[in-house]
Amino acid sequence: MDFRFTDDQLSIQSIARDFAQKRIVPVAAEHDAKGEFPLENIQEMGQLGLMGIEVPEEYGGAGMDPVAYVLAMVEIAAADAATSTIMSVNNSLFCNGILKNGTEEQKQKYVRAIASGEAIGAYALTEPQSGSDASNMHTRAVKNAEGDWVINGKKSWITSGPVARYIVLFAVTTPGMGARGVSAFIIDTKRPGFMAGKTEPKLGIRASATCEIEFHDYVCPADDMLGAEGKGFGIAMGVLDAGRIGIASQAIGIARAAYEATLVWSRDRKAFGHPIGTFQMTQSKIADMKCKLDSALLLTLRAAWTKAQVEKTGGRFGTEASMAKLVASEAAMWITHQAVQIHGGMGYSKEMPLERYFRDAKITEIYEGTSEIQRLVIARAETGLR
């Protein structure tokens, strides 16, 4: 196996790292404390190509591969998980879904706007009564006499919902058919009938705006259906496979930031006349942190590499994506936990970013498929049983 990165991959990693350290790190704590959406940084990231890394250049993106996306996501997440959440949704869930399933007109109109940073995208699958059971949705789309779709319903936990211009939405078009009755649509939030609810007060990733959204007789033009009628659930699940690589990358960035802070602390902090990094119990924690971090990174790079191969030759990469997301998210939670513990009281203080890393890490075990769902996906793939 060749573990060397290409010049293009290293270039986007360097661009992301430089921007993250110079523009994101200085304001991350303030944005977190205020729950303030980092709009200016997101727009600049679009100009740098970070909002459409895998988007072809003809649609306003950087035209790079999934491995480049992982490398860039890790750098942004290491600076601020909330900013990386916005980046992940724009890249993995919005742009990816339309690139794989949209018409040429949809790609030019919607993907270009998001990839360039001109607008913010969102993805609306979850509903108040349906989290992991995504097929149990109540939002309805009914065709009117003109052939357009009239949408009514509510979606919850929509990342970037309060600020998004365009949203990929999933709604039932044929009731009683379960997953086979779901279709996908592209929503323009400037049209009548769309309403964003209050921003959710969250434990972590507080600078990423999250809310409920509602549709009251919203008319979606027939041309804005994404893919074929009744194929929405398959689109949603395919998009989530790509999204899980993004969340795994986010988790690695959070974990890396906590690990690097711990290395510095273990060298500088003294107890009983010695650096705490000389104590065997601290060394044991550091060794385990390093192993979990590198294991997560390798699994995530494998998933990204597999995705790139699948896009050339066909096939699936869902199992690899689920493994990466599961291992990386649980590693992030464990590593940040141990980092806080090693830092003692200072790890619990808002004077240091560790408590933010700890809060941010938890969501990676929940969204885009909980750890329980990832285990289900992996086990079903291995056994062939459902």
| C-alpha closest to that of 293 among 242, 336, 237 | 336
Cα–Cα dist 217/141, whole Å: 9
Q: Which two tokens stand for residue 277?
A: 């990094």
Residue whose C-alpha is closest to residue 53's, from 79, 15, 23: 15
Report DSSP state, residue 157: E
Q: What is the pLDDT of residue 1?
A: 63
Question: Which domains does the chain carry?
Answer: 7-120 (1.10.540.10), 122-230 (2.40.110.10), 233-383 (1.20.140.10)
- Please, which residues have CB within 8 angstroms of residue 85's CB and are 6 or more apart in sequence? 159, 205, 208, 250
* Residue-level pLDDT at 197: 93
Question: Taking the mean position of all CA atoms in its chain, how far away is CA 138?
Answer: 24
What does the alpha-carbon distance between residue 138 and residue 155 come to, in Å, rounded to a whole number?
9
Helix (H) or strand (E) holding 65: none
What is the model's pLDDT at position 136?
85
Q: What is the pTM of this model?
A: 0.96
How confident is the model at residue 308, as a pLDDT?
Answer: 96
Q: Please report, in tens digits, the pLDDT of each residue of the chain (386 residues total).
A: 678 999 999 999 999 999 999 999 999 999 999 999 999 999 999 999 999 999 999 999 999 999 999 999 999 999 999 999 999 999 999 999 999 999 999 999 999 999 999 999 999 999 998 877 777 899 999 999 999 999 999 999 999 999 999 999 999 999 999 999 999 999 999 999 999 998 999 999 999 999 999 999 999 999 999 999 999 999 999 999 999 999 999 999 999 999 999 999 999 999 999 999 999 999 999 999 999 999 999 999 999 999 999 999 999 999 999 999 999 999 999 999 999 999 999 999 999 999 999 999 999 999 999 999 999 999 999 999 98
Give the model's pLDDT for residue 2.
77
The tokens 């399933």 sit on which residue? 101
d(CA 114, CA 166): 8
Burial of 205-236, coded b for 16+ CB within 10 Å and e otherwise, reads bbbbbbbbbbbeebebeeebbbbeebbbbbbb
**Residue 288: Cβ within 10 Å count:** 14
* Rounded Cα–Cα distance for residues 151 and 293 (Å): 44
Exposure on the CB side of residue 236, measured as CA atoms within 13 A: 30
Written as one string, the DSSP assignment of 277-320 is GGSHHHHHHHHHHHHHHHHHHHHHHHHHHHHHHHHHH----HHH
Which residues are 195's β-sheet partners?
A: 214
CA distance linking residue 182 with residue 167, whole number of Å: 16
C-alpha dist (Å) from residue 326 to 105, 244, 306, 349, 369? 36, 9, 17, 28, 9
Burial of 385 (0-12, 13-18, 19+ CB in 10 A): exposed
CA distances 50 to 21, 112, 128, 158, Å, are 15, 13, 31, 21
Token pair for 173 = 């078009």
Give 381: exposed, middle or buried? Use CB within 10 Å, 0-12, 13-18, 19+.
middle
Catalytic residues: 368
Separation CA 203–CA 341 (nearest Å): 19
